[in-house]
Amino acid sequence: MEPLVPSIGWGVLHVFYRVDARAAADDPEAAKRFADAVDALVADGYQAIVSVVLGHKADLAVMAIGPDLARLQAFEAEARTSPLEPVWSYLSLTELSEYTSTEDDERARLQSDEGLAGDALDEALATWRERMAHYQEHRLHPRLPEKRVICFYPMSKRRDAGANWFELPFDERKRLMGGHARVGRGYAGRILQLITGSTGLDDWEWGVTLLADDPVAVKEIVYEMRFDEVSARYAEFGPFYIGLVAPVREALARVGLA
C-alpha cells in the first residue's frame, strides 16, 4: 500500500488486546510474532508504548505513533497473527490547538503586563517565537519519554441546550481554554499530556494520553480538571484505560505469553 502521510501531524493509534489463551496454547510461537511486529515498527522510526492494562477492559495495549497511517495499519495486521485479540482501538492525529496564543497576543501581554517597548520588546518576542516553535514541534511530532504509567481516554465537547461549546464565540472559548491549560501546566514534571484530534476519524473528538511515574498524579490532574469550567460544563468523557508500561517481551510475559 502506498504511504498515507497527513499534511499536518502524525498518526496516533491506540489498540487494546485480550489474550486468546486457546490460540496461545495451539501456537507457542505466536506471541513472538507480536513482539517482532512491535520491534519492526520501532526499527522503522515509529514509537510504540506497550503496557499491561489494569482491570477487565483489556490485557495489553499498544500506543503507536508515526507519520504513515498505512504503516500503522500494517502493524495492526501483523499483530493480528498473534494470540492477542483486539477489543478496542482509537485513531487520532497530533495537532496544534486553535487556542494557542498568537504573536499579537504575546505582544499585547508584554506591553501591558511588563511594559516592554522597542528593542526589549523585539528581543522578548524573538525568545517567544523560539519557544513556540519548539512547543509546536513537540505537539506535532512528539518524542514521548519513558514513564511507568499510561492513561488514555477519549473526550468530546458537549452540545447540550445551554451548554453547547460550539455555540460559544471564539474569544470566550479561547479564554476558557486558557484557564484549562493553566491547570495542566501545574503538573509539569509529574505528567506529560498529549492531546490528539479525532473529529471525523473516530467516535470522539479528542484523545487524551497521560504519562506519569506515579498513578496518583494521573488521579489528581483528572480530578482537578473536573472543577475547571471547560470540563464541568462542556466536557464528555469516554472510557478510561490505565496500564503499566513495560518492554514488549516483559509485557507479554506478564499476561501469560512468554
What are the mean pLDDT values of the chain's consecutive 10-residue runs (258 residues total)? 96 97 87 95 98 97 98 96 95 95 92 91 94 95 96 97 95 93 91 97 98 98 95 96 98 93
The answer as to whether 152 is a domain residue is no
Encode 206-242: b = buried (16+ Cβ within 10 Å), e = exposed.
Answer: bbbbbbbeeeebbebbbeebeebebbeebbeebeebb
pLDDT of amino acid 76: 96
pLDDT of amino acid 23: 87
Return the CA Rg of the chain.
21
Q: Helices 170-185 and 215-226 meet at what angle, rounded to 10?
A: 150
pLDDT of amino acid 94: 98
CA–CA distance, 85 with 146 (Å, rounded to integer):
26
The answer as to whether 19 is a domain residue is yes
Contact 86, 15 (CB under 8 A): yes
The answer as to whether 192 is a domain residue is no
Say whether 153 is catalytic.
yes
Which is the catalytic residue, given 153, 187, 234, 241? 153
pLDDT of amino acid 24: 87
**Which residues are within 8 A (CB) of 2 and not within 5 positions of it... i.e. 6 or more apart?**
70
pLDDT of amino acid 27: 87
CATH for 91: 3.30.70.1030
| Number of Cβ within a 10 Å radius of residue 258 | 11
Tell me the residue range of the domain where 49 lies. 11-95+246-254
What single-letter DSSP state applies at residue 203? S
The answer as to whether 224 is a domain residue is no
pLDDT of amino acid 28: 81
The answer as to whether 144 is a domain residue is no
**Which residues are within 8 A (CB) of 60 and not within 5 positions of it... i.e. 6 or more apart?**
16, 17, 19, 50, 51, 52, 53, 84, 243, 251, 252, 255
The answer as to whether 71 is a domain residue is yes
The answer as to whether 199 is a domain residue is no
CA neighbor of 184 nearest in space, from 215, 237, 150, 223: 223
Contact 75, 64 (CB under 8 A): yes
Identity at 205, one-letter amino acid code = E
Query: The pTM is what?
Result: 0.93
pLDDT of amino acid 84: 95
Total count of domains within the chain: 1
The answer as to whether 5 is a domain residue is no
